[in-house]
Amino acid sequence: MRRLTDLIGVEAAFDRRLDPASAAPLALALSGGGDSMALLDVAMAWARPRGRRVLALTVDHGLNPDSAAWTAFAGAAAFAAGAEWRSLAWTGDKPSSGLPAAARLARHRLLADAAREAGASVLLLGHTADDIAESALMRAHSPAHGYLHEWSPSPVWPQGRGLFCLRPLLGVSRSALRDQLQARRLGWLDDPANDNLSFARPRARAALAVQGRSVPPARFPAAQALTELAGIAEIGEEGQISLALAALASIDAACAKRFIGMAAICASGHTAPPRGEALQRLFQRIGQGGDFVCSLAGARIAAEGDRLRFMREAGEMRRAALAPLRLHAGQTAVWDGRLEISAGVDLTVMPLAGCAARLSKADQAWLAARQAALRPSLPALFHGETMRLPAPFGAGPAYARALAGPRLLAACGLITHERDISQGAMAQEPRSSYVETLALALAHSSSGQRRRHV
């Protein structure tokens, strides 16, 4: 029996985006429904002859009495197909309203954490041509509803950093997938929530069934312009973003506003894009010319001369009451959505605001060369009685890697292949080298040897 990949060319999507020689596993979201079961089938057909491992991940939302049985069905299907498998559970209280959106967010966070833990940088999702049509119909009633793309960064932050979603089935109808599953004698589950018309997507699905036709998907027309803007933007080592105002003025207004919104959340570390009204007001202010400073989505945005600059708004950190981040030696975590910090010793990370006088003279000299507005939002490391800046800003016992640059590159489409992900996320060698050197120095110190300067 010929597989779906042979019939409709789905395999080409895998070839376009994936590295057949990679040793990393491919993560795959497996609910047990028809779309994800078909995805498992075609993914294994592509991965097995290339020696790629597939890790199927099933999220139990705990919303249906049969969810445990559904999870077990998905696990058995994964093992039968030759994939590895893990179950994930959405625990805790569930919201009384907005349940589909909350479940989707929780699912993506769980999937992203599990994929990253396994070493995967690509998550396979089973969206189809029907999903594109339904999303287009939903967008007609709610313009904020997003778009589905074959290849895109994970929609959750910071859990999804360095993780991309591949949707190889977007050119295939849901009915064609089920026909293929039946031909191959593979079963699937039907979630009754898909027929619950109190939710937006089932209503869109029912409307399309009545119309008997698909809604053509709307595409953002200026993807190339976004890519070009991101390519010429300047990214500072602390995570600030700078762009020539002339570059913004030379492109379509919708694209320019989209870039501004992306740059704002990348510089601020926020998860949600700015509201349309606020973004429109900022865009109009830019068009008036002259220098100004404003806040948007947690970012400080300043027009200075011929450039537009984005950085974290220090006042927003105080309003949000950013909690201290406690790290153990060898641990890595994201601080304030902006910096990935790898600790060489047990320490606590807090905002620098109000503490700069406690820094060493070398750290104070580095700080004095930075913009005053940037300084309060930098991380300070507290280790015992000392307070230092992390490398590469100072020589404190941790390394800080700014995430704004790789996040902006991913959001604007500069990362198009699995091989590009590690490059776009910036090499880890400087961080690893620093932390290893620090650990070695501390080991020598604890054994009575003279401590090396790091």
> How, if at all, do strands 396-402 and 339-343 pair?
antiparallel
How far does Cα 115 stand from its chain's mean position? 12
Q: How far apart are CA 296 and CA 273, in angstroms?
A: 9
In this structure, what are the phi and psi dihedrals at residue 332, rounded to the nearest 5 degrees? -125, 135
- pLDDT, tens digit only, all 454 positions of the chain: 456 655 567 899 999 999 999 999 999 999 999 999 999 999 999 999 999 999 999 999 998 889 999 999 999 999 999 999 999 999 988 888 888 889 999 999 999 999 999 999 999 999 998 888 877 776 666 656 667 889 999 999 999 999 999 999 999 989 899 999 999 999 999 877 776 666 666 676 667 666 665 545 445 445 788 888 999 999 999 999 999 999 999 888 988 999 999 999 999 999 988 988 999 999 999 999 999 999 999 999 999 999 999 999 988 777 777 899 999 999 999 999 999 999 999 999 999 988 899 999 999 999 999 999 999 999 999 998 899 999 999 999 999 999 999 999 999 999 999 999 976 554 344 455 555 555 544 444 444 433 332 2
- Which pair of tokens denotes residue 200? 């937006």
**For residue 392, is the peptide bond before it cis, meaning its omega torsion is within 30 degrees of 0?**
yes
Based on C-alpha coordinates, what's the Rg of the chain? 24
Domain regions of the chain by residue span: 4-211, 223-317, 323-446
**Residue carrying structure tokens 């910036």:** 426
Q: How far apart are CA 256 and CA 286, in angstroms?
A: 11
Q: How far apart are CA 427 and CA 376, in angstroms?
A: 27
Q: Max Cα separation, the chain?
A: 79
What CATH number has the domain spanning 223-317?
Answer: 3.30.465
Helix (H) / strand (E) containing 310: strand 307-312
**Buried/exposed code over 361-395 (b: 16+ C-beta within 10 A; e: otherwise):** eebeebbeeeeebbbbbbbbbbbeeebbbbbbbbb
Cβ-in-10-Å burial (0-12, 13-18, 19+) of 141 comes to exposed
Q: How far apart are CA 276 and CA 272, in angstroms?
A: 12
Query: Rounded to 5 degrees, what angle do the CA atoms 73, 76, 80 make?
Result: 140
In this structure, what are the phi and psi dihedrals at residue 325, rounded to the nearest 5 degrees? -105, 115
> How, if at all, do strands 54-60 and 26-29 pair?
parallel
State which CATH number among 3.40.50.620, 3.40.50.10480, 3.20.20.70, 3.40.50.1100 fits the domain covering 4-211: 3.40.50.620
β partners of residue 400: 341
Tell me, yes or no, if the two domains 4-211 and 223-317 fold the same way.
Answer: no
For residue 61, give the nearest of 53, 52, 70 by alpha carbon. 70
Q: How far apart are CA 66 and CA 378, in angstroms?
A: 48
